[in-house]
Structure 1
């Protein structure tokens, strides 16, 4: 809901329109100049010691080049090496720094190796260290060869062209040759696609996505971040069922969760959700637990299993997502308080979007473990968020509560509006209900109102009156309300020992305080005495 491209990025694209790759010059920060100067010096020393061998060439790859050309700062420094592995190079560079400390004034940090994990599309080990306070990754140029029998590639040392062609998008395949101080476009399309704002795969989209299905989500993320257009052929291939199925066998939930979080926290998350809907990968992004044994157990034992599967298989979820991305921006603009919250807080926007997206699963539960026979179910919304998108447990539970209590929120609004002149439906009625959301009641409010809007229920006035009352009565932060008397004080003043009665009394104390916002400790104590015989 924020502008997709900054003014400087738009201006950078305009300035590129008449340029070729040979004309493009990058403006380096002082730290980047130091890093490139060091790498140039080391390459010169290495090449002077190996005059009869192929010269060492160093390139900065990927996102750093793209962001620099768009006028953004970037701290994503990936150095590609043509002659050795990243670990070998980083180790040798560390030795060079130790011998030349007086010249550079910096000692090497420990080299951390990130091992390859081919089953999850991490096909080559990477070495990470810090130079002049900046984290830098080193990896060799590589080529990848796939067979029809396996989606795990054979990885070999490659040429710059081969390394560029294996990447997710042409505009992410641009290299910066450190020694020659120039941008290199080995796909021959990267510079033009960056100028035009088009996300195109270097190789055929089908091959690119089958090789690594996560590239589907990466292209969606870049499209939503920069307001770029995904090439029509690529968007068409994203919908292929075989590519959809490949997510389960090739991509970890953690990697899906990282990409989705970046989409939701990005410049235009609604565009990202729209592309997820168009690509028909909502079943992948918002998947339930995919463990085969647990899925089979659910099919036999979970009462809601048929309803859950119906949400996915009937196309209802995809249609709902289409309604969300079609209506949500107009809806937000209709409510200034919501619009303000969304613009002010990315977390608020993320919670709100996830809540309205997951509404089709409201009230549904699935079995989450084979080890327990009781208390073994979980909200489907919470499972999707926690187990698939890897959102932290507390946040997942909060969003799931908003989703699962959607119909209850409607009932409370209706009860309040129908009975607002009666004392029983005043501050304590409203405040006690809001406290159950632990500070997220506003997201629940607009989630419920959005759902009513999608269903063409004319309830805008009721929700407005309910919202207005909350602020008029200063109940918006009622979840922070603490008892005037804590349990120890209460027992002491009553001359009694603590016990189960005390918790029940405290449950009555908060509603009393809500109905008596100026009440004193003594008045609360008198109220407690009046109801004490009900609990002791």
Structure 2
């Protein structure tokens, strides 16, 4: 954490910029209060980059619009029903929200927006004390009614009011606690955590869209594993992502096997390290797949007479469970499809180290992965958590070899765009078929032929197709 003097200096420099100076002067001239609030103030004290400029005011949304319209390059009111007006002023994007407090009536799944009248009241109804600080403008006076500075120093997350009241106002704040713990590296104070455990079931009243949005933010933090642990330990995960706590399989003296829950969190952490090492931005699809890749194990767990444990087909079962859960959380179709496909494919590599694959097997691996290939590379490498250094080195070397072969074959054959040597029109003409399922069947035969044997030439492909069709 930066010194108070350094943080105040950063805030002064930020608020002295032409866009904010202009904005604060206009609000003062109109007789309204304006304060920089929440994240920007917190991050200034933490020495983190200040990204989003959020302001709060006693002006209503209509009054905000009236003030910003003459000075804005553009403005929008998509959040107007929640009291928020967005604008771009001298190239700087800002959001300005009327003092408010959100509360559930216990009957609906969306909070009722209530506008407030003073800054201190607005701040004490916010989620956590470290987010409940504001800088009054243009005076540049720090307002911290809930002791946010002390909690920043202690690296602690605490609600400004009693946690039972705060979480009662908006149960999603319990998930937000896990997200901020992961994002900031802070711990949740005991009273706040106990309230999360006692009130976990109230998360059910929050809409799936809001839950998935918060889960997405958590998964894209630097250390999502810490937040996932808090969701599991508090009981929240049992309501929003029950497949994860289910990974904590009972381990007895007769059936020793890897702790699947701890393994999954390790895979997630290793995938994030590889993601960065290979030059990628935080990837929600990859991270969800890493966390959920083994969710099929509880349903497929079997113990034989010797005490050995098996999880046959947990990849296929896990893929279905993953798709079902992400659909329930209202994730988009593309994300659901990509994550569930990665879960289905995550075991394909194992066995490669036991014996070299044929070129056709490598081609199929690439074809099945499609545009998920790079993510599958990372997930498969991250899935190696063995403490046996010799085994880990063997698997790493084997995957290095597989990636090398994929690259060589790709250069020679453009694997990503492999197609049969005859298209649908040519197939219909040769076999005298009309459009229908039979054409697709013939196309798949030719694609398998292409993957197994490479390019054969038009004449040979036509001969093989006619022969296959005659004997099918």
Bin for the TM-score computed over the shorter chain: 0.7 to 0.9
Instruction: Indicate how the Cα distance of structure 1 residues 33 and 232 shifts in structure 2: closer, same or farther if over 3 A, else same.
Output: farther
Q: Partner residue of 1:515? A: 452
* Maintained 8 Å contact 1:342/1:349: no
Question: 1:344: which partner in 2?
Answer: 279
> How far did 1:180 drift?
0.4
Which stretch shifts more, 34-43 or 210-219? 34-43
1:397 matched to 2:334 = no
SS of 1:270's partner is: helix
Shift of 1:94: 4.8
- Matched with 1:254 is 209
| Contact 2:247–2:298 under 8 Å retained in 1 | no
Q: 2:66 aligns with which of 69, 72, 92?
A: 92
Corresponding residue number in structure 1 for 2:313: none
Contact 1:356 1:403 (C-alpha < 8 Å) held by counterparts: no
Alignment of 1:251-330 (within 5 A): 251-286=206-241, 311=246, 320-325=260-265, 328-329=268-269
Mapped partners of 2:216, 2:145: distance in 1: 31
| 3-state DSSP of counterpart to 1:14 | coil
Pick aligned residue for 1:33 from 15, 18, 24: 18
Q: How many residue pairs align between the two structures? A: 440
Distance 2:23 2:291 in 1: 51
* Distance of 1:237 and 1:210 partners within structure 2: 10
Given the alignment of the two structures, is residue 439 of structure 1 paired with residue 371 of structure 2, yes or no? yes
Partner of 2:311: none
Distance in 2 between residues matched to 1:154 and 1:510, nearest whole Å:
57
Report what 1:57 is aligned to: 33
Unaligned stretches of 5+ residues in structure 2: 252-258, 301-318
The Cα shift of 1:167 comes to: 1.0
* 2:440 aligned residue (503, 510, 517): 503
Task: Tell me the alpha carbon deviations over residues 121-157 of structure 1, each in whole angstroms, 9 at most, x when there is no partner.
Answer: xxxx333344334443333324578899999679452
Residue by residue over 1:268-315, the C-alpha shift from the partner in whole angstroms, topping out at 9 and shown as x without a partner, is 22222233233232123325xxxxxxxxxxxxxxxxxxxx89949989
Shift, 1:526, TM fit:
4.3
1:415-472 Cα distance to aligned partner (Å, 9 max, x none): x66675xxxx62324433552333335655765776685899x975468546634632
**Aligned CA-pair RMSD:** 4.2
Distance in 1, Cα, partners of 2:288 & 2:204: 24
The answer (yes or no) to whether the contact 2:289–2:340 under 8 Å persists in 1 is no
Distance in 1 between residues matched to 2:19 and 2:384, nearest whole Å: 58
**Structure 2 CA distance for aligned equivalents of residues 271 and 343 of structure 1:** 23
Query: Matched residues in 1 for 2:376 and 2:84: separation?
Result: 43
The structure whose RCO (Cα within 8 Å, separation 6+) is larger is 1
Deviation of the 1:484 alpha carbon: 2.9
After TM superposition, the structure 1 = structure 2 runs for residues 469-508 of structure 1, keeping only pairs within 5 Å, are 469=402, 471-472=404-405, 474=407, 478-492=415-429, 494=430, 496-499=432-435, 500-508=437-445
Question: What CA distance in whole angstroms lies between the structure 2 residues aligned with 1:480 and 1:245?
Answer: 49
TM-score, structure 1 as length reference: 0.68
The answer on whether the counterparts of 2:419 and 2:450 sit within 8 Å (CA) in structure 1 is no
State the shift of 1:173 in Å: 0.8
For residue 175 of structure 1, report the CA deviation from its aligned partner.
0.6
Cross-structure match for 2:175: 217
**Cα contact 1:129–1:137 (8 A) shared by 2:** yes
| Offset from partner CA, 1:238-257 (integer Å, 9 cap, x none) | 222xx2111111x2111111
Label 1:192 to 1:23 Cα distance change in 2 as closer, same or farther (>3 A).
Answer: farther
Cα distance change of structure 1 residues 363 and 403 upon mapping to structure 2, 3 Å threshold: farther
Q: Structure 2: how far apart are the matches of 1:108 and 1:501?
A: 56
- What secondary structure, in the 3-state scheme, does the structure 2 residue paired with 1:482 have? coil
Instruction: Give the distance between the partners of 2:103 and 2:448, measured in 1 at CA.
Output: 67
Deviation at residue 208 of structure 1 after TM alignment: 1.8
Q: Is the 1:90–1:129 contact (alpha carbons within 8 Å) kept by the matching residues of 2?
A: no
1:264–1:350 Cα contact (<8 Å) kept: no
Equivalent in the alignment of 1:524: 461
115 and 42 in structure 1: CA distance in 2 versus 1, 3 angstrom threshold: closer
Question: For 2:449 and 2:172, how far apart are their aligned partners in 1?
Answer: 54
CA distance in 1, matches of 2:101, 2:275: 48
Q: Identify which of 201, 213, 218 aligns with 1:245.
A: 201
CA distance in 1 between counterparts of 2:244 and 2:267 reads 25
Could you say which residue in structure 1 is the equivalent of 2:305? Answer: none
CA contact (8 A) 1:143 1:159 kept: no
- Please state how far the C-alpha of 1:172 moved relative to its aligned partner: 0.7
Instruction: Provide Cα deviations, 1:14-52, integer angstroms capped at 9, x if missing partner.
Output: 333xx499777432278x5323324314422x34xxxxx
Question: Are positions 1:428 and 2:360 aligned together?
Answer: yes
Matched, 1:68 2:44: yes
Which of 267, 284, 289 is the equivalent residue of 1:354? 289
Q: Calculate the TM-score normalised by the size of structure 2.
A: 0.76
Tell me how far 1:396 sits from its aligned partner. 0.9
Q: C-alpha distance in 2, partners of 1:473/1:286?
A: 36
1:128-277 pair list within 5 angstroms: 128-142=86-100, 155=114, 157-187=116-146, 189-240=147-198, 243-249=199-205, 251-277=206-232
